[in-house]
Amino acid sequence: MSEISNTLPGRGPHQPLVFHDTHESHPANGTLLGFWVYLMSDCLIFACLFAAYGVLGREYAGGPTAQEVLELPAVAVNTSLLLLSSITYGFAVLAMQRNQRNPMLVWLVITGLLGAGFITLELREFAHLISIGAGPQRSAFLSSFFTLVGTHGLHVTCGLIWLVVLITQVLKKGLISANKRRLLCLSMFWHFLDVVWVGVFSFVYLMGVLP
């Protein structure tokens, strides 16, 4: 037993070199940091689209105004769906931390359904706008509106595809370390989309309908 302790660094009198791993010089896991940097680059894309909307959002070109075409009750439902999907994904992460596979999968499926509901409502809104002649080609306001809200919707759609892929992965391979890492990346992605939506419903919808 004493032999073993002598071979360990820092044990015994004949060990001049002692290395301390302080965990301070570099992050424990590079993937999550890298994914965070990706999210920040996404944030810049949205900042540009928000800026474009901020500049063009009141240029109606004689077409319908934001007050006329944006419907707040539908947006309120949409917002609730996305916020609920954020908290259900949080519950999935909690179940993942306890290594409970099936509860986690149930929460993930609920998250996916809420996200799908969000996309469905948004597509219906777009279809309605286009059907009344308020498509993206009508005015600068509608161009920037469709670009900004549509880009967010595209992100949510990608998140949904990713979610389905991950559920399949977990079903096939179980809660292995790699899958946990992927689930945490998607959780950041999903919560980040909720953050962007806060900007969208405040800046585009609520401020858009103000007189």
Partner 1 sequence: MSAHDELHAHGDDRGHDEDFGIHATFSGYMTGFVASVVLTVIPFWLVMGHVITKSSTAAVIILALAAVQIVVHMIYFLHMNAKSEGGWNMLALVFTIVLVVITLSGSIWIMYHLNSNMMPSMMDPSNLP
Residues that bind partner 1 (CB under 8 A): 1, 4-5, 8, 11, 23-29, 31-33, 36-37, 40, 43-44, 47-48, 50-52, 54-55, 72-73, 76, 79-80, 83, 86-87, 90-91, 93-94, 97, 177, 180-181, 184, 188, 191-192, 194-195, 198-199, 201-203, 206-207, 209-211
Task: Spell out the alpha helix ranges (H) of the chain.
Answer: 2-7, 30-56, 66-69, 72-97, 101-131, 140-173, 177-199, 207-208
Write out the DSSP string of 175-202.
Answer: S-HHHHHHHHHHHHHHHHHHHHHHHIII
Neighbours of 42 (CB within 10 A): 16
- Smallest separation, CB 98 to partner 1 (Å): 11
- Smallest separation, CB 23 to partner 1 (Å): 8
- Nearer CB in complex with partner 1: 72/127: 72
- Nearer CB in complex with partner 1: 17/131: 17
- Smallest separation, CB 52 to partner 1 (Å): 8
- Smallest separation, CB 122 to partner 1 (Å): 17
- Smallest separation, CB 42 to partner 1 (Å): 10
- Nearer CB in complex with partner 1: 97/127: 97
Chain length of the chain: 211
What are phi and psi for residue 64, nearest 5 degrees? -65, 145
In sequence order, which residues have a C-beta less than 8 Å from that of residue 139 and are 6 or more positions away?
Answer: 59, 60, 61, 62, 63, 64
> Which DSSP symbol is given to 209?
T
